[in-house]
Amino acid sequence: RLDTVETWDKRISFRSDLNERLYLYRDPQRGHRYAIGVDVAEGILESQSGDPDASVICVLDVDGGGEQAAVYCGQVSEENLVEPLELIGRFYNEAFLVIETNSTGKHVGIEMAKRYPQEKIYRRLDWEQGYARRSRTIGWRTHVGSRNILIGKLADAINDRAIALHDARTIEECKQFVGKAGGGYAAADGAHDDQVFALGLAVVGIDAYPRLDEMAKLMASSQYQRKLNERMKTAESQTGY
């Protein structure tokens, strides 16, 4: 598990605990950039399903050949995923976060926006309805078109050996992610795809990382901060978060 050491710099350290959900394969390297993909479970508790989906956080080393550095996996609700995500992100040099925000992930995105560097959170660039501008809304939204893009990026990364995996569960889920008779790809019957999508989101993070300098300049402007505050108030009024 990750703990904050009560020192002047609030350093985060890793402590071995077999009862925790974090699997660390590579320590953070000084000067390396990291990308994190976050697949948030739909909120089905273990008591409600014999084999529920898991929330997964996947860490890839951008400057280390896409090597898988860590995986957090478990039946964790969205409100309980925020703290470990923040600790993991900061532990890995304030990694770039790509959070899927289709449903329960919206809460994670909103909360991370309050406590994490704005320029280190992925924002999609879809067009806002009724406005001639990009939305820059926090998080990756999975739909028919973007799902194919995500799977394509992950397939290319695997085929090009652009990533190196260490987590046995991630590897097994990738093996069980197969073509379907009716077209498209999905988890085989009885299998899960949480690891696959968290990994794919981390690959998206690697691709998006070079744009951070441009985004940082934009987010530092007073106009952007004013719009961000307006969006946060709207989100809070609509969701209660």
Q: What CA–CA distance (Å, rounded) separates 54 from 74? A: 5
CB 230 within 8 A of CB 238: no
Mean pLDDT of the chain: 84
Q: What is the band of 10 on the pLDDT scale with cuts at 50, 70, 90?
A: confident
More confident residue, 156 or 133: 156
Percentage of residues in the chain with pLDDT exceeding 90? 50
CB 202 within 8 A of CB 195: no
pTM, full prediction: 0.81
Percentage of residues in the chain with pLDDT exceeding 70? 78
CB 2 within 8 A of CB 12: yes
Of the candidates 133, 47, 2, 75, the residue with the CA atom closest to the CA atom of residue 123? 133
CB 13 within 8 A of CB 3: yes
Beta strand 67-74 with 22-24: parallel, antiparallel or unpaired? antiparallel
